[in-house]
Structure 1
Amino acid sequence: MLSLDAVTAVLSPKQIKSIVGSFDVPQIALWSGAVSSGKTIASLLAFLFAVAKAPDTGLIVVVGRTLQTIERNLIDPLQSASLFGPLAAQVHHTTGSTTATILGRTVHLVGASDKLAEGRIRGATVALAYVDEATLVPYSFWMMLLSRLRVPGAKLLATTNPDGPAHWLRREFILRGAAVGLHTWSFTLDDNPSLTAEYVERLKTQYTGLWYRRFIEGGWVLAEGAVYDAWDPSVHVVAELPRIDSWIATGVDYGTTNPFHAGVLGLGADGCLYLTHEYRYDSKIGRRQLTDHEYSERLRGWLASAMVPGTDLTGIAPRYTVVDPSAASFRIQLHQDGVRSVLGDNEVLPGIRTVASLLATRRLKVHKSCTELIDEFPGYSWDPKKAERGEDAPIKVADHGMDMLRYATHTTRATWQTRLMRARLETAA
C-alpha cells in the first residue's frame, strides 16, 4: 500500500494539492506551466498512485513524442531513488523496450510523433494513461486515446508547457474543463521548492521572448515578432575569432532554385560557439542552377581553402557535415565524393529554442565575414497568420542561413553541450 505522507515530505503545498486533487477528477488531470516548476514530479507521483489502484482490466499506457523522450523524461526520473525513494525500486525497464513494469503492472510505452501513431492504440481498452508534453501530441492521437478510456473510472493524466492561445488543447479542453471532465493545475518556478535561486536565475537567462513568456512565466501566448529577439549585432557579431579548439560541423541548407547556404560551426577556446565561415550560392544571381556534383566540388573546395583563425594555415575539416533532410540526392553525391554526412534535425521549434538559448546566454557568435547570415537575423519573424491558427512557424522568406545555423547547432548539441560547459569553466578558472 502506498503512503502519501512517505513520498510528499519535500513537495510544495501546490504539488501536494494537485496530487490529492487528481484522485477525484472526472477523467483528465492536467499539470501545466513553466519548465522545472515541479509539475512533472507531482504528476508522476499522482501516476504512481493511479497505477496502484488502477482496474485490473484495461491497459496502462505512457505516451510521449518518442520512446527515447519517454525514457528520458519519465522512466529515468521514476527510477531515481533521490526523487521517489523506495518506489523507484518498483520501476523496471530495459532501454529500448516498449514496456515497463511499474508497481507490478505492465505499462505500455507509446511514441506519438505524428498522426499515424493513433494506429498503435486503435482497438485497445485503456484503464489509465499518462501523456508527457500533451501539446506536442497529435490531436488525432489525443482524441483516439480519449475514446479508448472505456473502463469505469479510467483516467488520463498529462503534463504540458504552454503553447499558443489557439492551440487545440487550450481551446477545446482547458477552456471547457468542466464540460469535458478536465481539471488543470498551473505551475510557476516559485512552485518548485527544490530549485536554488542561482538555478532559477540561470533558467531565466536561457529563455527569451516567446520562450520566456511560455516556459518561464507559464503563459499561453501568441508567437509574434522577431524569432531571435535576443540578437544584437554589437554582441553577437565579432571581428576577431579566438583559437578554435574543435571544428564541430558544416551545416548545409540545400537549394537549387533557392539559395544554397553552408556554414562552419566551431567551439572556441573561450567556451563559446562560433559560426566562422559561410558559403552561399544563389542561382538567381549566378544565372544558372548547379548540379549536386558541382555543389559537392565547391563545398569541398571552400573548406579546403578556408583560413584557420589566428594562423596562416588553410583547410578546415569539421567532425560532422549536417545536411538539410530534404537533400537526399546531394547526400548521395557527398557519399560518392568521400564525405560522410548526417541528416539535419528538422524539428523546427526545438532547433529554434536551441539557437535562441545560445544567443540569450551569449554562447553563440558570428564572424563579421558571414554577412548573408547576419543579414537574415533581423527579418526572421513568426508568421502571424499561422499563429492565429494555433501553429508556431517562422515566415519562410530569407531563411536559408537560419535553417543552416539551426541544423549545425541543434543536430550536434550532444557533441558541444558538455564540451562548451567544460571550456567555459576552464576559462573562468
Structure 2
Amino acid sequence: MIRDLQLPLSRAQIRSIVEAQGAPLALWSGAVSSGKTIASLIAFLISLTVAPDHGLIVIVGRTLQTIERNLLDPLQSTHLFGPIARHVHHTTGSTTAVILGRTVHLVGASDARAEGRIRGSTIALAYVDEATLVPHSFWMMLLSRLRVGDQSRLLATTNPDGPFHWLRKEFILRADEVGLTHWHFTLDDNPSMDPGVVARLKAQYTGLWYRRFILGDWCLAAGAVYDMFDETRHIVDLMPYMKRWTAVGIDYGTVNPFSAVLIGHGEDDHLYVVSEYRYDSNLERRQLTDAQYSHNVRRWLAGVRRPGVQGDARGVQPAWIFVDPSAASFMNQLYNDHVPSVTPAVNDVLDGIRSVSVALGSGLLRIHRSCAGLLGELPSYAWDEKAAERGEDKPLKADDHSADALRYALHSTAHEWRGLINDEEVASAAA
C-alpha cells in the first residue's frame, strides 16, 4: 500500500505507521502541516484492510464538513494516494463512505449530544480527527463501544491545546496505564512541505498559536491575546486606494458599547481597518434604539472618506455587513431599512481570534490611527487565566467590543484574504 503513495514519507511518519499496527489506542499530535494526518490515514487504511467483519467502522470529526475537508478529500486525491484514491467513494453530505470496499460511518461530534449517535453500537475501528475538539463524554462513550475484543482499534490526531485539557491529563500523561501509543510531530517531520510554506506558517502564527501549532506545545493561554500587535508595525496614518470594501463587522450593544469596524482591501494587497463607528451609552448617558443605530451606521458609512481618491470623495458600500449573531432584532432593523448584504457573523471565538492573529502576525492587517476604540482594546485584550487553569481557552469578557467587531469581519472573510499573505510579508514578519 505504501508503495502506491505519490508522496515521500519521513522516518517519523513511517515509524508511527508501523508502530500503530496492533496498538489499541493510537494518537498523532503536534504542529500543523507536520505530516501527522497523512501518517494516521495510511495507518487507518492498513487497519481497515484487516478490521473484523463484525462491528462498525467510524470516522469522527467535529462536523461532517470537517470530515469531508480534512480526511475524505485527501483520501480521494490521486496526487496524495495514487491508485488507492479510486477506492474511496463518498457523496458530499452523505453520512457514510465506502473505503477499500468497507462501509465507513461518518459521525459529527460537535457537542455532548453526539454521543447518542454511537450509543449501543459495537465498533471495530474508529478514526478521530482533531480529538481535542471532540467532547470528553463522546470520547469516553466511543472507547466503551470498542467491543470486538483485542481486534478493536482507535486512531486519532490532534493539534495541542492547553496543558489541562482532558486528552493530555487523562490519556497522554497516563499513556502506559491506558494503553495509548503516542507520537509528537513537528514541521520538520513532513518531507512534502515546501520551505517557503514552512516559513509562511511560522510567520503567520505568533504567541500562543506559534507555541501550539508550530512547536506543538501543550501550553497555557495566558497574557495578551494579540501579543503580536505592534503600534509601529500595525498603525498607519496614510492608506492607499481601496480596490474593494471587504466588510463591516458589528458588535451590538445597548448597555455595553456598540462597535462597528470597516475593512478595505488596498491596492497594495493589504487589509486596512479604515474607519470605526462606536457608541458607548454609559459615556453618552443615553441608550439608542435599533432604528437609531441603523441610522447612525448608514450615516457613518455614507461619510467615510475614500483614501487614494482625489478630492473629498466619501461614502462606501461594503461587500458584507457581518453582525453579532445574537443581535437578531438589529439585523431585522437593517433588513427593514433595506441595508444590503447583512448576514450573521461567523462566531467561533477561538478560530476567529486565530484569524485575527494570522492577519496581524503576517503583517497583512493595518489599522488607521483614527480607530481609537479598536486601538485602545487590542493591547489589553487578554486570556482568562482562571479559565485556562480549568482547561478552557477563553478571553476575558471586558473591553472587547471593537475587538469582537474586528473578529467578525476578518474571520467571516478569511477564505477571501488568506491568499493575500505572500512571501514578502513573511520575510518582513520574520525580520
Range into which the TM-score falls when normalised by the shorter chain: over 0.9
Cα distance in structure 1, aligned partners of 2:122 and 2:27: 21
Name 2:429's counterpart in structure 1: none
Contact residue 267 and residue 420 of structure 1 kept, 8 A: no
Equivalent residue letter for 1:396: K
After TM superposition, the structure 1 = structure 2 runs for residues 173-212 of structure 1, keeping only pairs within 5 Å, are 173-212=171-210
Of 131, 156, 160, which aligns to 2:128? Answer: 131
TM-score relative to the length of structure 2: 0.95
Q: How does 1:331-350 map to 2 (within 5 A)?
A: 331-339=331-339, 340-350=341-351
- Judged with a 3 Å threshold, the aligned counterparts in structure 2 of structure 1 residues 263 and 423 are, in CA distance, closer, same or farther, namely farther
Tell me the equivalent position of 1:34: 31
The answer on whether the counterparts of 1:270 and 1:423 sit within 8 Å (CA) in structure 2 is: no
Instruction: Report the CA distance between 1:414 and its aligned residue.
Output: 2.1
Matched, 1:52 2:53: no
2:421 & 2:163 partners in 1: Cα distance? 36
Letter in 1 for 2:12: K
Deviates more, 1:331-340 or 1:256-265: 331-340
SS of the aligned residue for 1:288 comes to: coil
Q: 1:304 aligned to 302, 305, 309, which one? A: 302
How many angstroms apart in 1 are the aligned matches of 2:199 and 2:415? Answer: 24
Aligned equivalent of 1:272, options 270, 273, 281: 270
Cα 1:40–1:420, aligned 2, differ >3 Å: closer, same or farther?
closer
Give unmatched runs, 5+ long, in structure 1: 425-429
The 1-side partners of 2:96 and 2:259 are apart by 43
**2:322 is the counterpart of 1:322:** yes
Rounded to whole Å, the distance in 1 between the matches of 2:423 and 2:6 is 35
* Equivalent position SS for 1:378: helix
Partner of 2:236: 238
Q: 2:162 aligns with which of 164, 172, 189?
A: 164
**Alignment check: 8 A CA contact 2:96 2:103 kept:** yes
Q: Does 1:413 align with 2:414?
A: yes
Please give the per-residue CA displacement for 1:197-216, whole angstroms capped at 9, x wherever unaligned.
Answer: 22211211111011111111
Deviation for aligned residue 1:53:
1.0
Tell me if structure 2 keeps the 8 A contact 1:8–1:16.
no
Distance 2:367 2:212 in 1: 27
Deviation at 1:415, TM superposition (A): 2.7
1:247 equivalenced with 2:245 (yes/no): yes
8 Å Cα contact 2:196/2:423 also seen in 1: no
Partners in 2 of 1:286 and 1:180 — Cα distance?
59
CA distance in 1 between partners of 2:323 and 2:101 (Å): 45
Partner Cα distance (1:175, 1:420) in 2: 38
What amino acid maps onto 2:395 in structure 1?
Answer: P
CA shift, 1:151, in A, is 1.6
Give, in angstroms, the shift of residue 182 of structure 1. 1.0
Q: Is the 8 A contact 1:271 1:421 kept in 2?
A: no
Structure 2: how far apart are the matches of 1:246 and 1:43? Answer: 42
> Quick one: which of 290, 293, 307 aligns to 2:291?
293
Matching residue's letter, 1:42: A
AA of the residue aligned to 2:359: L
1:382 aligns with 2:391: no
Kept after mapping to 1: 8 A contact 2:6/2:79: no
Q: How far apart, CA to CA, are the structure 1 residues paired with 2:419 and 2:219? A: 32
Cα pair 2:4 2:84 within 8 Å, conserved: no
Q: Which residue of 2 aligns with 1:427?
A: none
Question: Residue 380 of structure 2: SS of its match in structure 1?
Answer: coil
Q: CA–CA distance in 2 between the matches of 1:164 and 1:330? A: 36
Equivalent residues of 2:4, 2:81 under 8 A apart: no
Deviation at residue 387 of structure 1 after TM alignment = 0.8
Moved more, 269-278 or 150-159: 150-159
Match of 2:10 among 4, 9, 12: 12
Letter in 2 for 1:135: T
Q: Which residue identity is paired with 2:213? A: F
CA distance in 2, matches of 1:275, 1:6: 49
Per the alignment, in what secondary structure is the counterpart of residue 346 of structure 1? coil
Q: Secondary structure at the match of 1:309?
A: coil
What is the aligned partner in structure 1 of residue 111 from structure 2? 114
SS of the aligned residue for 2:193 comes to coil
Relative distance call for 1:93 and 1:422 in structure 2 (3 A) is farther
CA distance in 1, matches of 2:92, 2:419: 23
Q: Supply the RMSD in Å over aligned alpha carbons.
A: 1.7
Whether the 8 Å contact between 1:271 and 1:422 is mirrored in structure 2 is no
**Secondary structure of the structure 2 residue equivalent to 1:63:** strand
CA distance in 2, matches of 1:14, 1:397: 44
Match of 2:79 among 73, 79, 82: 82
Contact 2:306–2:314 at 8 Å: present in 1 too?
yes
TM-score by length of 1: 0.95
Cα deviation, 1:92-139, whole Å, max 9, x if unaligned, reads 111111111100111111111111211221222211111111001111
Report the alpha carbon displacement of residue 281 of structure 1 after superposing the two structures with TM. Answer: 0.6
Pair 1:149 & 2:150 matched? no
**Match in the other structure for 1:366:** 367
- 1:87 match: secondary structure: helix
- Corresponding residue for residue 221 of structure 1: 219
5+ long unaligned stretches in structure 2: 426-431
Alpha-carbon distance between aligned partners in 2 of 1:324 and 1:408, rounded to the nearest angstrom = 10
